[in-house]
Structure 1
């Protein structure tokens, strides 16, 4: 019976690193070019990001070869910055934009980059394990309308509910620290 429970638990955890049927991770991915700070331009909302503005993600290398993740956002309701530290590892090979990320101990979720500005790494379209998780990230808080239209169309074609997208404000919160990595150690 214990073995059955263990197998069911492992199967459930591995399901969180899957991806939506119509989503394919980018190939030719270069992690070193992806590292640094990204601004969240749009997302499907979740309890862990509800009400946050000026959301950023900062990626840096970990000593074990993984990626440190520091997500930050400003809560206007609480009038302070919130942050979550995590870690990410490649699911397949390091040339494929398909990682698993954890903010809660041994529990991982998929981080699938399905579109990327491969020339300059200025924007990325990211999915989670299913069509409830979707982000548009960019290197600057403002992005061209053509990229937003491309994001919306590609997301819609892949089964995401783009009517539920939230576009993140980046001007109304106090400035965050200049170096987000110094805000605490990444897991």
Structure 2
């Protein structure tokens, strides 16, 4: 199968995503990542487009399960209705605990969820990339906050960090966090 054929088959999947030619970048991740401090609720402030989170008031809540895996509960509001999805995250290599894997289905492999930087109390920068036969890659990047808003300076710092790691954020968009409950 030619590269063009593969691209045509994948086009519906990537139309709402951010893709770039070549293999995934390999950004540095949070040194000495502390999962216990990272757990809890994070609000999505900005992200690269995805086909799975298109609503508003998007948030993620991370908690530790008894088996050592991480419960991921993502929610968003679409047409006035709250939509939740539960998944599982794992630290795939204890030598690099900031490189987690996340799955929202028992039948799909873990996708990368790399904590590039976090101060644990205000802001977190997360990156994920799926490499498609080293011809192109699909990027995901998020700027998260412990509250529904984040100062423009912190957003710019987060964006500059992603840029410095070779990640194209030209399609990054703010998330509507006007939810009326905070």
Equivalent residue of 1:133, what SS?
A: strand
The whole-number CA distance in structure 2 between the counterparts of 1:57 and 1:70 is 6
Is 1:168 aligned to 2:170, yes or no?
A: no
Which structure shows the bigger proportion of residues in helix conformation? 1
Which structure shows the bigger proportion of residues in strand conformation? 2
Displacement after TM superposition at 1:142 (Å): 1.2
Displacement after TM superposition at 1:101 (Å): 0.5
Alignment check: 8 A CA contact 2:28 2:165 kept: no
Counterpart position of 2:77: 74
Cα RMSD, aligned residues only: 2.0
Counterpart position of 2:163: 156
How does the TM-score come out when normalised to structure 1? 0.74
- Which of residues 104, 114, 117 is equivalent to 1:115? 117
- Which of residues 46, 56, 59 is equivalent to 2:59? 56
Structure 1 residues 81 and 94, CA gap change in structure 2 (3 angstroms): farther
Alignment check: 8 A CA contact 2:75 2:84 kept: yes
Alignment check: 8 A CA contact 1:29 1:94 kept: no
How does the TM-score come out when normalised to structure 2? 0.76
Displacement after TM superposition at 1:148 (Å): 0.7
Map residues 20-169 of structure 1 onto 2, 5 A cutoff. Answer: 20-50=24-54, 52-75=55-78, 78-93=79-94, 96-106=97-107, 107-117=109-119, 120-130=120-130, 132-169=139-176
